[in-house]
Chains A and B, each alone.
Chain A
Amino acid sequence: MIPILLTSLPLVLAVVVYFNGPLRAALTGKIAAACLLLLLGILAYVSSSPSLQHLLSSSIEWVPSLGVELLFSVNGFSRLMLFLIFGVGTVIFFYASDYLKSHPQQHRFLTVLLIFLTGMTGIVVSDNLIQLFIFWEVTSVTSYLLIGFKHEDAKSRWNALQALLVTGSGGVVLLLGFILLGSIAGSFDFQQIVQSKESILAHPYAVPAAICILIGALTKSGQFPFHFWLPNAMSAPTPVSAFLHSATMVKAGVFIVAKFTPIFTTQPYWDWPLVALGSITMLYASVMGLMQSDLKKILAYTTLAVLGLLMMLLGVGTELAVKSAIVFLLGHALYKSVLFLSAGSIDHAVHTREVGKLGGLFRWMPLTAITACLAALSKSGFPPFFGFLSKEYVYKAGLAEEAIAPFIIAMAVLTNMLLMALALKVGVHPYFSKKNSVPAAGKAHDPSPWMTFGPLMLASLGLAIGMFPAWISEHVTNPAVSTILMSEVSISMKLWHGLNLPLLLSVLTLAGGLSVYAMRHNRIFDKTRESTITDPFEKIYRSGHDGLIALTIWITGFIQSGSLKRYFIWMISFFVFLVMTKLILIGAPPKSSYETPLTLLDVSISIMMIAGMFGALITKSRLIMLLALSLVGFGIAWIFAVYSAPDLAITQILVETLIVVLFVLCIRKMSMIRSLTRVSTRVRDIALATLAGAIMTVLVLKSQWIQFAPSISEELMEWSYPLAKGKNVVNVILVDFRALDTFGEIIVLGIAALGVGILVTSNRSKSKEKSSNTP
């Protein structure tokens, strides 16, 4: 009940917002936000009261005959994600309703954002894998639409398409993984899949399935080497970056990995790619982040780094690691969306996001500055913020890991230092740095309360959780970890653990981060928009993209040359190829026996047809050619009639007649065929025609004894009168036994007629244009 409500209500809101139009979008956006808040409240209430637990899972029969059910359920982990989606979503919608105020397409923006919300909620609450995949695709498509929201800008469109192509192809691979997994387990119900874990792991398809799922998750979460789309996705309006590309959608990949952790954890083909790619991503992204100048790009790279960290922790897979991943995920969603929104507020106020040009904004935007500072401090991991806690847990988890502790600790400390420097660069520098000052800063001011209050709440939440972690640990993170590990977990969270190694590492991180931050005016790190380095993988993607387009252009030109003759050759050759392959695979008939002896009539009809064919070959008059060919057609009709298929014979005669009449009409004004084609062309055509004819003959001969399924013609004959009250079996099959097929066929006829009409009409208007152009 509750999960269905959570999934469907945003969709209803989307419709409401869309049809209220752009003028009322600021209002409807706020109403939507309020509804989201209400949903969040309902969810919190229902999941906290034990008597209402049954509301948390439900199913809808979808295709009962195939046993397909839509399964929805909320468990500990999805509840955490739902809190994030709806909590951050509320803030985002209040923010967005004023951020894009008086934008002519604001209502469309909010609508797509709400549809995204449906998709994201669907991913989190779906227990049927196919259903999950559909919602997964919804988020990809809406992400595409939102990144390309400023669609007049070519760069935006390129970025949107890039994100769609990367996450979309990942999605296809993910579907492949789901299908493999579903076929091993015999069900797409996730609960059943988890229960048949043993048999899945023993199956040879387990490895490809796991790798496919990993690829899907890694593309979605922007992991190395698919990371390049996420920084580019920053061309979306800021609320989108804050919501989709830091707090929710990019975490869908992490969510999928966590969801499948109970099955694949401790398998080397699952853990090692996660640890390796996750750690590469976190280091690579944080270094790349240092070299950016755009506030949002910096944030995007830090998001990548955090996602890498989460992936790595899930790859490590111990209880502590998963716990720290969950804590980090929660903390990150809280501070990162705030930082994004603050960056958006700066952009809104002074119309630039270049770090180098910003400074001293605290005087004009104190509330935004305080909010951003709170978030930045949490992100940097200063005690007593939530960020400090989550970092401590990462270190604890790293130290507890036996085999690769030094590696993980080194990576984590290094990344956290860089992340901290970046956090200060984004969250503190623009407001307090005295060095630079924006020219337009005098006019800058805090945005409306709708845009400041929400982020401030989220930022303060980071501080509150940091100071009182026990409650959130007991009610939010521990249930989530229990779901992932499928066992009760009771690790309590405390701010103060005493003097130990993690604390030392934290201090080290703080010191390191501050020193990196102090070096921010260094030549390497102090970039402007012009001097930022393009990601090398962006270039690889671009050449792949261009190569693909060049290839399709070449193939299209090669196959669709525009010459009818060429098309015909393609069709015939392809037919010959397909049928010949199949015939060779089937092999020779056991013995060739034809029960019907040749009669004189057969022979004379055949001679007539052959004569017609040769006549068509040698004549230069189109009319004679047509009549000669019709001899073949009528000969066939005759054969049908002789061998008691009157329906076919009548149809054949009528079709042949119509064709002849039509052709006569069309060709009567055409001239005689003056020149014949070259000898080489003729030889090729003759060879192809002979081959096609021979293949067809062999096919007909073989079809006598090839029987793929038991023949039903006898039964149809028997049933025809008693069941369908018709003596003409052919007609009974057409209109009764297989009426649905016939219905499909006549629909095709109708569509074909429309096609012909359009072709002829467009041809006519073209020739008219031509004639009017040339007086």
Chain B
Amino acid sequence: MKSIILTQTTKFLTPAFVILSLFITYRGHNLPGGGFIGGLMLSTAFALLAVSDGVEKARHALRVSPEFLIAAGLCIALISGLPALLGDDAFMKSLWLPEFSLPLLGKIHLGTPIVFDIGVFMTVAGFTLKVFFSLCREEEN
């Protein structure tokens, strides 16, 4: 589907979507968003790229394989549950760092649920992209 309009738009949209997806994931704890939505959004960015420039280009732009995303996401989600075990708490009990402020971003509040959400983000994105790329390539062949 070669279209100059789509290709040119995608150039700007893909990075914007990537940043947006990260932001949506981060803000999910207090406002609509979160890992699931962020992951879907990230995959939309690369799906768009796949449609406009082809699967190979989209794969290349992603840099890591979707399988890697899934594996890394699962590992991160698992790891996020471990600190609680050290403190003799139940697996996956949430732990938070004290709040602090950063310029531009305002109050920052970090804890294991955010790490977990990043794992979810990566797994969901990896899953969607894996399915998308597989089916697209099937189609191209």
A residues whose Cβ falls under 8 Å from a Cβ of B = 646-647, 650-651, 654-655, 657-658, 661-662, 664-666, 668-669, 724-728, 730-732, 734-736, 739-740, 742-743, 746-747, 749-750, 752-754, 756-757, 760-761, 763-764, 767
26 examples of A-B residue contacts, CB within 8 angstroms: A650-B32, A651-B36, A651-B37, A654-B40, A657-B44, A661-B51, A662-B136, A665-B136, A666-B135, A727-B29, A727-B30, A728-B28, A728-B31, A728-B33, A731-B33, A731-B34, A735-B113, A735-B114, A735-B116, A739-B94, A743-B78, A749-B124, A753-B66, A756-B131, A757-B134, A760-B134
Chain B residues 96 to 141 lying within 8 A of chain A, measured CB to CB, are: 96, 109, 111, 113-114, 116-117, 119-120, 123-124, 126-128, 130-132, 134-139, 141
Enumerate chain A residues within 8 angstroms of B131, measured Cβ to Cβ.
662, 753, 756
| B22 at interface by CB-CB < 8 Å | no
Cα distance A750–B131 when bound, in Å? 11
| B67 at interface by CB-CB < 8 Å | yes
Cα distance A242–B126 when bound, in Å? 57
Cα distance A725–B124 when bound, in Å? 24
Q: Give the 6 A-B residue pairs with the shortest CB-CB distance, closest first.
A: A646-B32, A654-B40, A726-B29, A731-B34, A727-B30, A753-B130
Q: Which of A668, A669, A725, A740 has the most CB of B within 10 A?
A: A725
Quote the shortest CB–CB distance from B127 to chain A (angstroms): 4
Quote the shortest CB–CB distance from A146 to chain B (angstroms): 40
Cα distance A669–B140 when bound, in Å? 10
Decide if the interface of chain A is mainly helix, strand, loop or mixed: helix
Q: Is the CB of A662 within 8 A of B35?
A: no
Q: Is the CB of A725 within 8 A of B134?
A: no
Cα distance A492–B28 when bound, in Å? 82
Cα distance A123–B32 when bound, in Å? 57
Q: Find the A residue at minimum CB distance from B109.
A: A725
Quote the shortest CB–CB distance from A653 to chain B (angstroms): 9
Quote the shortest CB–CB distance from A471 to chain B (angstroms): 57
Enumerate chain A residues within 8 angstroms of B124, measured Cβ to Cβ.
746, 749
Quote the shortest CB–CB distance from A310 to chain B (angstroms): 51
Cα distance A731–B66 when bound, in Å? 24
Q: Total A-B residue pairs with C-beta atoms closer than 8 Å?
A: 147
Q: Is the CB of B37 within 8 A of A728?
A: no
Cα distance A702–B53 when bound, in Å? 48
Decide if the interface of chain B is mainly helix, strand, loop or mixed: helix
Q: Which of B34, B35, B43, B91 has the most CB of A within 10 A?
A: B34
Enumerate chain B residues within 8 angstroms of A668, measured Cβ to Cβ.
1
Cα distance A756–B94 when bound, in Å? 33
Q: Contacts A725-B29, A726-B30, A726-B113 known; A760 to B94 CB distance under 8 Å?
A: no
Q: Find the B residue at minimum CB distance from A767.
A: B141
Q: Find the B residue at minimum CB distance from A667.
A: B139
Q: Is the CB of B29 within 8 A of A746?
A: no
Q: Is the CB of A739 within 8 A of B92?
A: yes
The range of chain B's interface size is 35 or more
Q: Contacts A735-B120, A763-B138 known; A662 to B132 CB distance under 8 Å?
A: yes
Cα distance A568–B130 when bound, in Å? 24
Q: Is the CB of B70 within 8 A of A753?
A: yes
Q: Find the B residue at minimum CB distance from A734.
A: B34
Q: Is the CB of A724 within 8 A of B77?
A: no
Q: Contacts A647-B37, A661-B51, A753-B70 known; A736 to B135 CB distance under 8 Å?
A: no
Chain B residues 2 to 50 lying within 8 A of chain A, measured CB to CB, are: 28-37, 40-41, 43-44, 47-48, 50
Quote the shortest CB–CB distance from B38 to chain A (angstroms): 10
Q: Contacts A657-B44, A725-B96, A757-B134 known; A750 to B120 CB distance under 8 Å?
A: no
Q: Is the CB of B127 within 8 A of A732?
A: no
Q: Is the CB of B127 within 8 A of A753?
A: yes
Q: Is the CB of B74 within 8 A of A746?
A: yes
Q: Find the B residue at minimum CB distance from A740.
A: B92
Enumerate chain A residues within 8 angstroms of B85, measured Cβ to Cβ.
none
Cα distance A742–B76 when bound, in Å? 13
Q: Find the B residue at minimum CB distance from A730.
A: B34
Q: Is the CB of B33 within 8 A of A750?
A: no
Cα distance A763–B120 when bound, in Å? 29
Enumerate chain A residues within 8 angstroms of B91, measured Cβ to Cβ.
740
Q: Is the CB of B47 within 8 A of A661?
A: yes
Enumerate chain A residues within 8 angstroms of B28, measured Cβ to Cβ.
728, 731, 735
Q: Is the CB of A750 within 8 A of B109?
A: no
Could you say which of B77, B126, B132 contacts A658, with CB atoms under 8 Å apart? B132
Cα distance A743–B94 when bound, in Å? 14
Enumerate chain A residues within 8 angstroms of B119, measured Cβ to Cβ.
746
Q: Is the CB of B127 within 8 A of A750?
A: yes
Cα distance A666–B29 when bound, in Å? 36
Q: Is the CB of A760 within 8 A of B37?
A: no
Q: Is the CB of B67 within 8 A of A753?
A: yes
Cα distance A725–B99 when bound, in Å? 11
Q: Contacts A727-B29, A734-B36 known; A739 to B113 CB distance under 8 Å?
A: yes
Q: Is the CB of B120 within 8 A of A742?
A: yes
Q: Is the CB of A662 within 8 A of B135?
A: yes
Could you say which of A728, A739, A742 contacts B30, with CB atoms under 8 Å apart? A728
Q: Find the A residue at minimum CB distance from B115.
A: A735
Q: Find the A residue at minimum CB distance from B43.
A: A658
Q: Is the CB of A724 within 8 A of B113?
A: yes
Enumerate chain A residues within 8 angstroms of B74, measured Cβ to Cβ.
746-747, 750
Q: Is the CB of A658 within 8 A of B40?
A: yes
Could you say which of B51, B71, B94, B120 contacts A665, with CB atoms under 8 Å apart? B51
Other than the given A662-B132, A726-B29, 7 more pairs (CB < 8 A) read: A666-B135, A669-B139, A731-B34, A740-B81, A746-B77, A753-B130, A767-B141
Q: Is the CB of A743 within 8 A of B135?
A: no
Q: Is the CB of A665 within 8 A of B139?
A: yes
- Interface code B50-82, partner A: CB below 8 Å = 1, 0 otherwise? 110000000000000011001101100110010
Q: Is the CB of A732 within 8 A of B29?
A: yes
Q: Find the A residue at minimum CB distance from B132.
A: A662
Enumerate chain A residues within 8 angstroms of B114, measured Cβ to Cβ.
735
Quote the shortest CB–CB distance from A768 to chain B (angstroms): 9
Q: Find the A residue at minimum CB distance from B78.
A: A743
Q: Find the B residue at minimum CB distance from A738.
A: B92
Cα distance A736–B80 when bound, in Å? 11
Q: Is the CB of B32 within 8 A of A734?
A: no
Cα distance A646–B137 when bound, in Å? 33
Enumerate chain A residues within 8 angstroms of B113, measured Cβ to Cβ.
724, 726, 732, 735-736, 739
Quote the shortest CB–CB distance from B33 to chain A (angstroms): 7
Enumerate chain B residues within 8 angstroms of A665, measured Cβ to Cβ.
50-51, 135-136, 139
Q: Is the CB of A658 within 8 A of B47?
A: yes
Cα distance A727–B29 when bound, in Å? 6
Q: Which of B51, B81, B123, B136 has the most CB of A within 10 A?
A: B123
Quote the shortest CB–CB distance from B57 to chain A (angstroms): 14
Quote the shortest CB–CB distance from B129 to chain A (angstroms): 9
Q: Find the A residue at minimum CB distance from B34.
A: A731
Cα distance A767–B30 when bound, in Å? 49
Q: Find the A residue at minimum CB distance from B117.
A: A735
Q: Contacts A727-B29, A753-B130 known; A746 to B138 CB distance under 8 Å?
A: no
Q: Which of A730, A732, A743 has the most CB of B within 10 A?
A: A743
Q: Is the CB of A647 within 8 A of B109?
A: no
Cα distance A646–B109 when bound, in Å? 23
